Each structure stands twice: as C-alpha cells, then as structure tokens.
C-alpha cells in the first residue's frame, strides 16, 4: 500500500534508512483474521534487514505463522506543540514506515548476527558471547523491508 503523501513537502524518503538505523525502538504491526495487532520492540538493522527477538511461543509467532506481512513504524523527535487555541495544537516528528515480510530465522549464524545487530543498535559495544544453547531457544524475527518511506512535521509546515 504505497500512496503519495497528501502533503509531499513533508516527505523525507532520502532520510528514511538513516532514521531506521539510528533508532532502536519500533512499532511492529501485524494482522490476524482482519484484527490488527501492534507491539513496540527493540530492533537492529543488518544488511538491509530488520531483526527483532522474542520468545519462541506466543501471539507474535502465531500471527507471523499465518500472515508474514508486517509494517514497521519508527518515530524520533516527537513533541506535542501546544498553542493557546487547542485547535492549533500539532505534533512535531520525523517518522519512518516500512512494509515487508517477516520470517523466523532458522540458521544459527544468522540468529547470532541478528541478536548482535540488536545489541549494537541498542548501545552495547562489548564483545558478543552468545552460547549456542541459549540462542537456539530464542525466536529471532527477520523483516525483509520491501518499501520504506519517511515523513516529518516541523512547526509551521501545516
């Protein structure tokens, strides 16, 4: 679902990948039986893909087994801009929306690389020592992003 922005001056597609790579919390959107489900997760980017980890069982896994199509939303510089007239309130932000397909990573080396990408993006700069027996019990989600767009709203842009 790629639509042109109603206000194209707000589009920042050229900055979308950089925004995705410098943040570490996203909102993952999924859908099961026409019922939307969103959840905030930390993540890491590696080789054009987005990695997240979760427990090996649960609602996210059930949904992704049925419908691998997902959306990702990342926001930064979010601020409510109050005005004397509440009708003129606005929100300042920069955001990225990605659409793609999610899969559970089966390959142990890719799992380790995905987990390391998450840790790095979340600020860990030490050496990653991940015992294979612990990694095997984790579910690592890989999203192959098929479309990425950026948008911003700064004060006075309408």
pTM of the model: 0.90
Nearest 10 degrees: Cα torsion 42, 15, 73, 85: 120
* pLDDT, tens digit (0-9, with 9 covering 90-100), for 55-90: 889 999 999 999 999 999 999 999 998 989 999 898
By C-alpha distance, which of 112, 1, 94 is closest to 51?
112
* pLDDT, tens digit (0-9, with 9 covering 90-100), for 135-144: 888 999 999 9
CATH number 2.30.30.30 given to 8-150: no
Instruction: Give the domain ranges of the chain.
Output: 8-150
* pLDDT, tens digit (0-9, with 9 covering 90-100), for 97-129: 999 999 999 999 999 999 999 999 999 998 888
d(CA 124, CA 117): 9
């Amino acid at each position: 679902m790629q639509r042109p922005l109603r206000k194209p001056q707000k589009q920042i597609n050229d900055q979308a990948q950089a925004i995705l790579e410098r943040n570490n919390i996203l909102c993952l959107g999924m859908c099961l039986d026409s019922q939307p489900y969103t959840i905030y997760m930390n993540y890491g980017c590696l080789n054009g893909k987005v990695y997240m980890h979760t427990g090996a069982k649960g609602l996210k896994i059930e949904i992704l087994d049925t419908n691998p199509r997902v959306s990702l939303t990342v926001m930064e510089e979010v601020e409510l801009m109050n005005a004397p007239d509440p009708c003129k309130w606005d929100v300042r932000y920069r955001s990225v929306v990605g659409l793609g397909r999610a899969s559970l990573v089966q390959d142990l080396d890719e799992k380790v690389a995905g987990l390391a990408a998450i840790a790095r993006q979340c600020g860990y700069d030490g050496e990653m020592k991940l015992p294979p027996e612990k990694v095997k019990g984790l579910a690592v989600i890989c999203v192959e992003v098929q479309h990425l767009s950026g948008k911003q709203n700064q004060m006075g842009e309408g």
